[in-house]
Amino acid sequence: MRQCFDVIIIGAGIAGCATALALRQQLSHLSILLLERRKNTPQSFRIGETLPPQAMALLQQLDLLAQFRLRGDVVSLGNRSAWGSSQLSENLFLYSCYGHGWHIDRASFDNWMAQQAERAGATILHDTTVTGIPVYERQHWHLGVTQNDHAARNIEAPIVVDASGMSVFFSRSRNINVVAQDKLIAIFRYYQTDDTSAADNGGDGYTLVESCSYGWWYSAGLPHGRRVIALMTDSDLARTENLLQEAIWRDALLSTQHTCTRFAHAEPLTSLHIKPAHSQQLERSCGQGWYAVGMQPRLLIRCHR
């Protein structure tokens, strides 16, 4: 494999792959390498399952919208919320100029985006980590990388894009401060329904947000009869209230008025998972020969007031 590229992108998630696609679309001669820590194997579940209507404009810009519509994801018709009240309010995507949104299988979508980037001419190295501190000299970045636990080797490029998500690995190596704005975490699990219970339950075309004393509950229908439910709360509150214990988490779920009805006939597919969902930002997002893109919570879920 070549050792010198025009652009190296750290992270082959949505942001990294979209960056590669946009670059190849504008400058098809560029040699682009994406470095991804995950192995090249499909994941059963990955949090971050809602694409808002505005995402359709981005997919259109990347010339992916037609292929995306063939995937068979679940239409998201809007958001329903009970915020500080038992009364449900609605934000319907019917009134959006972008049309409706989508509820996706996030692991499948990430793998699909990686396939599109490779088809566009980018190279992806899976199960690969950057070792040591990147060095910039002679107008090139020099990175040590290890793949599949093999011996480290050096690669270089005049431009590096940090798309490593919440870890912002490369930016941190440049001593760029990351400012966390809250302590939000998601305590979540996946459920499975059959076709009958899904039809009886209804509401799978909507994202549901319901406030509670700990924060709020989020739930959405997913492809293949799956559903996800997450309790969004501060990390310190989760510890003091023992919300990381499955029995207490479930009791809190059963005390809800609207959210619990979506899971009355659903079977748990997973145990509880915990992911950071706090908002954060870099004090600086670019420098000599490097840029940071897509730094955001791994959850594509937001509170709709």
3 state SS of 101: strand
DSSP, collapsed to helix, strand or coil, labels residue 152 as coil
User: 20-24, 162-166, 244-248: which has the minimum mean pLDDT?
Assistant: 162-166
Domains and CATH numbers, the chain: 7-49+105-179+279-292 (3.50.50.60), 184-276 (3.30.9.100)
User: Please, what sign has the CA dihedral across residues 124, 159, 128, 176?
Assistant: negative
Q: Residues 243-270: pLDDT tens digits?
A: 999 999 999 999 999 999 988 889 999 9
pLDDT tens for each residue of 107-152 = 899 999 999 999 999 999 999 999 989 999 999 999 999 988 787 8
Q: How confident is the model at residue 55 (pLDDT cuts 50, 70, 90)?
A: very high
Sheet containing 153-157: give its strands across: 128-137, 140-147, 153-157
Residue 286: beta bridge partners? 291
Q: Across the chain, what does the average pLDDT equal?
A: 89
Average pLDDT on 32-61 reads 87
- The 3-state DSSP composition of the chain as helix, strand, coil percent (nearest 5) reads 25, 35, 40
- Within 8 A by CB and 6+ apart from 51, the residues are 73, 76, 101, 102, 103, 104, 300
- List phi, psi (to 5°) of 28: -70, -15
Lowest mean pLDDT among 70-84, 146-160, 241-255, 289-303: 289-303
In one-letter notation, the amino acid at residue 44 is S
pLDDT in tens, 204-243: 789 999 999 999 999 999 988 899 999 999 999 999 999 9
Nearest CA to 180 out of 286, 295, 302, 273 is that of: 295
- Residue 287 predicted with pLDDT over 60: yes
When pLDDT is cut at 50, 70 and 90, the band that residue 165 belongs to is confident
- Give the pTM: 0.88
Amino acid 250: pLDDT = 95
Neighbouring C-beta atoms of residue 211, cutoff 10 Å? 17
Once rounded to an integer, what is the mean pLDDT over residues 281-296?
86
**Residue written as tokens 């207490």?**
248
Separation between Cα atoms, residue 276 and residue 104, nearest integer Å: 20
Q: What was the pLDDT predicted at 1?
A: 56
- Cα distance between residue 301 and residue 6, in whole Å: 34
Higher-scoring residue by pLDDT: 301, 108? 108
Four-residue CA torsion sign, 225, 229, 243, 239: positive
Instruction: Select the more confidently predicted residue: 167 or 42.
Output: 167
User: Quick one: pLDDT at residue 194?
Assistant: 79
Q: What pLDDT is recorded for position 256?
A: 96
> CA 118, CA 120: separation in Å to the nearest integer?
5
Flag whether pLDDT at 298 surpasses 50.
no
- HSE toward the beta carbon, residue 44, CA cutoff 13 A: 7
- Residue 201: is its pLDDT beyond 60? no
Total residue length of the chain:
305
Three-state secondary-structure class, residue 244: coil
Query: Looking at residues 284-288, what average pLDDT do you find?
Result: 92
Distance CA 103, CA 204 (A): 9
